[in-house]
Amino acid sequence: MRTRLGWLLAAGALTLAAVTASLAVGTRPIPPATVWDALLHGGATPDALVVRTLRVPRAAVGVTAGAALGLAGAALQAITRNPLADPGILGLSQGASAGVVLAIVSGLAGGFNGYVWYAFGGAIAAACLVYLVALRSRGGATPVKLALAGTALSAMVAGATSVLLTADSATLDQYRFWQVGSLSGRDSGTVTQMLPFLAVGALIVVARARGLDALLLGDETARAQGHRVGLIRVTAALGAALLTAAAVAAAGPVAFVGLAAPHLARRLARGSGGGYGFVLPLSALLGASLLLAADVAGRVVLAPAEVPAGVMTALVGAPVLVALVRRRGVAG
């Protein structure tokens, strides 16, 4: 118990350090002491205005989107019993992205408030299609069939999205700035609009923590313990869809965060004996830290220009994913 509490406190401290770095680092470097003075006491100095009006909303979006992706990835890794799963494994990310493309093409929605409903609809539609395809196959919706159906659907949706984008240059211009995944240009209203989706999705996933622990032991064992396997998978996937939709609508389809954060959290849980009641909050904290760290690194690498956070996570995530796949334990 003390070990688990220690890891949670360490992850919380890491998130706080990442938030401080996000508020201090940029084209206008601001000392951490000045940052905290602006937060606690306000002020009308240029540094204080930059912190409060530009960097606080950006850091808040990074925390909420990173936490949402970490929670969604943890739930999906349990649902599919696949340690390399992320929100793309059931087609959620591609479905949410397709929903945003439809919002742009239709011209009926703009910004987070409009995008999030289309993103949520796309994520839910993708999850339902994947589940139905897997369910109607021989043997039912097993983790392997869910992963295969999700991969196939993602490829199909990505192709359809490309057709829509190449047919309309104006849509492509608007979409490409969102598609790379970035925290810049977000305001406090984005965070406010994200919170209900994050809260409901997190409550659904956390409420299924014991069921997710049971799924990792296998469907038969979970049923023997009195769990309703199908209901657990459906509700946990619904929570993951809510979380993914909110993160994708706010920050774009950021890669790797939903894979790395829960993977690391589960490794720490194995060493401390914790289940998903420990893995889920730890995944949320690690996801927030990882996304903010990527955003800060993107401001430094090519300063004064910025590399979007989604590009940084992809650049760092690719070699790490290769290393994970090559590990004998993951292969087993």
pTM value is 0.86
CB atoms within 10 A of CB 189: 12
Are 122 and 98 a contacting pair, CB within 8 Å? yes
What are the tens digits of pLDDT across the range 73-99? Answer: 999 989 888 777 788 777 888 888 888
In the chain, which stretches have pLDDT less than 70?
108-114, 139-141, 170-171, 173-174, 176-180, 320-321, 324-332
Rg of the chain on CA atoms, in Å: 20
The pLDDT, as a whole number, for residue 325 is: 63
The pLDDT, as a whole number, for residue 68 is: 94
The pLDDT, as a whole number, for residue 65 is: 92
**C-alpha span between 132 and 127 (Å, rounded):** 9
Chain Cα centroid distance, residue 298? 18
The pLDDT, as a whole number, for residue 328 is: 47
The pLDDT, as a whole number, for residue 186 is: 75
**C-alpha span between 278 and 104 (Å, rounded):** 39
What are the tens digits of pLDDT across the range 180-207? Answer: 677 877 777 778 888 888 899 999 999 9
The pLDDT, as a whole number, for residue 129 is: 86
Instruction: Choose among 74, 95, 75: nearest CA to 253.
Output: 95
**C-alpha span between 36 and 249 (Å, rounded):** 29
The pLDDT, as a whole number, for residue 326 is: 67
Are 291 and 309 a contacting pair, CB within 8 Å? yes
The pLDDT, as a whole number, for residue 241 is: 86
The pLDDT, as a whole number, for residue 109 is: 64
The pLDDT, as a whole number, for residue 132 is: 84
Alpha-helical regions (H) of 55-110? 56-80, 92-106
**C-alpha span between 104 and 177 (Å, rounded):** 12
The pLDDT, as a whole number, for residue 267 is: 85
**C-alpha span between 283 and 96 (Å, rounded):** 21
The pLDDT, as a whole number, for residue 79 is: 87
E strand or H helix at 31, and its extent?
none
Task: Write the DSSP assignment of 197-261 as a string of letters.
Answer: HHHHHHHHHHHTHHHHHHHTT-HHHHHHTT--HHHHHHHHHHHHHHHHHHHHHHH----SHHHHH
